[in-house]
Structure 1
Amino acid sequence: MTPERDNASSIFPISVLPPAVYSADNTPTAIDSVDYGAASLLLHIGVGGITFTGANKIEFVLTHSDDNVTYTNVTDDDVIKDALAPATISNGIVRSLTAAHAAATVQKIGYIGGKRYLKLLADFSGTHATGTPISAVVVRTRAAFRGAA
């Protein structure tokens, strides 16, 4: 293997939403990015367990913090969005499931805000008798030193 083609040594993923079938809010885990220059969120959503509506929905809320105590919602200035994200980030919502979700999707969101900590909440509203498969990973890159974990 040629070192210049090695990407695995320069990415540092952390699970923020372990793969599972969810039907209620998760407890967000803080992701520390102190030794990294960049972070991206990969959000994998399986086929919806219900037909989502404006009342029975899942909203994915991304927050950030300088001190791991006081978290605020990200805004458009804090993220680079893909086509699956809302046109405008409001209340930190980086993805909203409000209509049928018949096929699995993977969404990428680049974090460009200047805060040290990130949290992702899968916020369930309404009735979810059948859960939806979800997972999320934050991929940290541009480590400040060799041997970062």
Structure 2
Amino acid sequence: MKKNKEVNRDLIKIRSIANYQFGKNIGKMLFPENSIIVKSRNTGKIRYIYHNNKLLATLRAKDGLLALTLDGAERILKVKTLRCKIKIKNEAAKYVIEGKNVFAKHVIEVNEDLRPQDEVIVVDEEDNLVAVGKAVLSGEEMKAFKHGVAVKVRRGKLN
């Protein structure tokens, strides 16, 4: 019985982090009831979250926030109010999908509230998932700048 309560508490915790990081009610959509939570053997802290044998996210020890995988991003991509979504030009998408970084001049749409170091989902003009990564610039800077890296891509859909 204790094990079940602990799993439930962990699920509530990661859902709360997802809600904080990505927006209201995202946690439930990203992590369903039957998600598997893997903890570190050494520290006992949450490290990975799986669903149907697919890694959805990693809980970063550095800042306690989630790093999404492509499978995790796919689960929440259709949310209209998703603040971590960045739309880029199709001409740049063919490079970003291979794992190349996103440059500010290729950003078409971005939430101005986005901050540097925020986790982001990169999509093309048709809202197809291209990559996941970390913002280097704020949303305002991405719109204003014409030079420089806007997103450091962690994983492109093809790499």
- TM-score bucket (shorter structure): under 0.3
Using structure 1 for the length normalisation, give the TM-score: 0.22
Using structure 2 for the length normalisation, give the TM-score: 0.21
Identify the structure with the greater strand proportion.
Answer: 1
Higher RCO structure, 1 or 2 (CA under 8 Å, sep 6+):
1
